[in-house]
Structure 1
Amino acid sequence: MGWLSAGDGYEVALVEGKVAARATSGRAAGRQLKSLPRGLRDHPEVDRLRRFAEWLDRHAAACVAQVDSWMVSSLPVPTGLLARVWPDEAWQSALRDLAVVGDDPDEVGFLRGATDSGELRVVNLDGETVRLSPRTVTLPHPVLLPDLEELREFAAELGIVQGVEQIHRATWRRPGDLEAKATEVREFAGGTFRSRFALAARASSLGHRVSGGCATTRVRDGGTLVEASVWIGEPYWDGEVTTGGLTWQDREGRALPLREVGAVAWSEGMRMAAALYAGREIEEGKDA
């Protein structure tokens, strides 16, 4: 975006997401000012740019949320769609360097670009940039990626920084020795918070839904919608609370035996429970 006239002697523009001004006359002509002059703070052009910056922030957050949803659910995404949104900087920032899989499930690469014709530019695990044109690609959840640790090492060598947490997302794998009738995980139960409000606020800040007495996260795992939930206390309780157990339910609300919980749903549920537990009150002192 270029500089816009804003009254006598000044121009304004968005610079790194903030409204900046520069003088158009005098010794400082053409030089960006350190702060907005008082007389410009309520100028219509400045207000318009502020509102536009707020919209850009919301748009960027929406792009990240959508790409995160594609990744967590490992949904197939049309390559034509990626090509159409790629010129948008917000979409590009969310998508760049994500691990993608095309027609061959064993061929993983990092997304570097998309052409108008629907081709994707991908850096493969040999370090070569190749072009792919499958009808759809998936942005796999990391728990589904083979040789994840090797992939992380390769990403570090390439200096990859992802706008959506994928490669370095915390993952948990379901144990193989679960009891047949077990429906609850207690590994992250018992975390103490000074109030139910504080625990609910932490859940919301982490992007989880608070419904009734639970923090929840929904995952589409293998085509099935599953909801993981952690008990966080009665909604209007005013005293100290502790985190409860972690459970999973199907779309009809049936509690799933742990052995039936899919890999992605298990990992995302454990990720939520661990993140909630990490914010607990920790006693200090030699007897803590």
Structure 2
Amino acid sequence: MGWLAAGDGYEVALVEGRVTARSTAGRSAGRQLKSLPKAVREHPQTDRLRRLAAWLDRHAASCREQVDAWMVSSLPVPTDLLARVWPDEAWQAALRDLVVVGEGEDEVGFLRDATADGGLRLVDLDGETVRIAPATVTLPHPVLLEDLDDLREFAAELGVVQSVDQIHRATWRKPDDLAEKATEVTDFTGGRFASRFGLAARATSLGYRVSGGYATTRVRDGGRTLEPAVWIGEPYWDGESETGALCWRDGEGRVLPLREVGPVAWSEGMRMAAALYAGRTVEEDKTA
């Protein structure tokens, strides 16, 4: 976007997401200003750019949320859809360098480009740029990636920075020795918060939903949608609160035996419980 006239002697433009002004007259002509003069701050053109910047921020967040949903659910995504959205900078930022898996065993790599003809260019684990053109690809959840450690190491060598947290996402593997009738995980219980409101606020700030006495999220795993849920206290309690047990519910609200929880739902539920617990009040050791 170019510079737009904003009154006598000034122009404005969006520079790195914020409205910036420059002078068009005198010895400072063409020089960007550190702050907006009052006449520029109140100009209609400035207001339009601010509203555009806000819309662009919402659009970028929406793209990241959609890509995150594809990744967490490991849903098949049409390659021609990726090609259509790729020219959009917000979509490209959300998708670039995510690990993509095609139809063949060797069709795995970091996404670098999506061409108009529906092809994708990847950098594979050998450092080679390859082109794949399957009908659909997946952006797999990291717990499903067998070569996750290799991918993390290679990503560090390439200097990969993902906009959507995929390969460096915290993951948990489900233990093999779960009790047959167990329905709860208590690893992250007892995290104290000054108030139930503070615990609920932490949940929503992390992107989780608060419903009744629980912090919840929804995860599609193995063709069904599950709801990990962590107890955070009665809704109208105004005293201290603690994180409770973690369970998983199906679409009908039935609490599942832990053995029935899939790997992605398990990992995402544990990730939520750990993130809530991490915000607990930690008392300092007075004897230290």
TM-score band w.r.t. shorter chain: over 0.9
Question: Residue deviations 1:176-204, cap 9 Å, x none?
Answer: 00000000000001100000010000000
Q: 2:4 is matched with which residue? A: 4
Q: 1:82 is matched with which residue? A: 82
Q: 1:167 is matched with which residue? A: 167
CA contact (8 A) 2:7 2:39 kept: no
CA distance in 2, matches of 1:76, 1:97: 17
CA contact (8 A) 2:143 2:171 kept: yes
Q: 1:18 is matched with which residue? A: 18
Q: 1:195 to 1:106 in 2, by over 3 A?
A: farther
Letter in 2 for 1:10: Y
Q: 1:187 to 1:106 in 2, by over 3 A?
A: farther
What is the deviation of 1:242? Answer: 0.5
Q: 2:278 is matched with which residue? A: 278
Q: 2:39 is matched with which residue? A: 39
Letter in 2 for 1:181: K
CA distance in 2, matches of 1:98, 1:271: 20
Q: 2:251 is matched with which residue? A: 251
Letter in 2 for 1:54: A
Question: Residue deviations 1:75-107, cap 9 Å, x none?
Answer: 000000000000000000000000000011453
Letter in 2 for 1:172: W
Name the stretch that deviates more: 278-287 or 51-60: 278-287
CA contact (8 A) 2:196 2:239 kept: yes
Q: 2:116 is matched with which residue? A: 116
Q: Which runs of 5+ in 2 are unaligned?
A: none
Q: How does 1:53-64 map to 2 (within 5 A)?
A: 53-64=53-64
What is the deviation of 1:53? Answer: 0.2
CA contact (8 A) 2:186 2:244 kept: yes
CA distance in 2, matches of 1:106, 1:3: 47
What is the deviation of 1:31? Answer: 1.0
Question: Residue deviations 1:129-179, cap 9 Å, x none?
Answer: 011100000000000001211111011111100000000000000000000
Q: 1:106 to 1:236 in 2, by over 3 A?
A: farther
Q: 2:131 is matched with which residue? A: 131
- Identity value in percent: 76
CA distance in 1, matches of 2:65, 2:137: 18
Q: How many residues align?
A: 288
Letter in 2 for 1:264: V
Q: How does 1:121-270 map to 2 (within 5 A)?
A: 121-270=121-270
CA contact (8 A) 2:107 2:132 kept: no
CA distance in 1, matches of 2:105, 2:192: 43
CA contact (8 A) 2:23 2:33 kept: yes
Matched residue of 2:271: which SS? helix
Question: Residue deviations 1:245-278, cap 9 Å, x none?
Answer: 0000110111100000000000000000000000
Matched residue of 2:13: which SS? strand
CA distance in 2, matches of 1:254, 1:38: 60
Q: CA RMSD in A?
A: 1.0
CA distance in 1, matches of 2:202, 2:245: 17
CA distance in 1, matches of 2:147, 2:121: 22
Letter in 1 for 2:283: E
CA distance in 2, matches of 1:86, 1:93: 9
What is the deviation of 1:287? Answer: 6.2
What is the deviation of 1:38? Answer: 1.1
Matched residue of 2:217: which SS? strand
Runs of 4+ with >6 A deviation: none
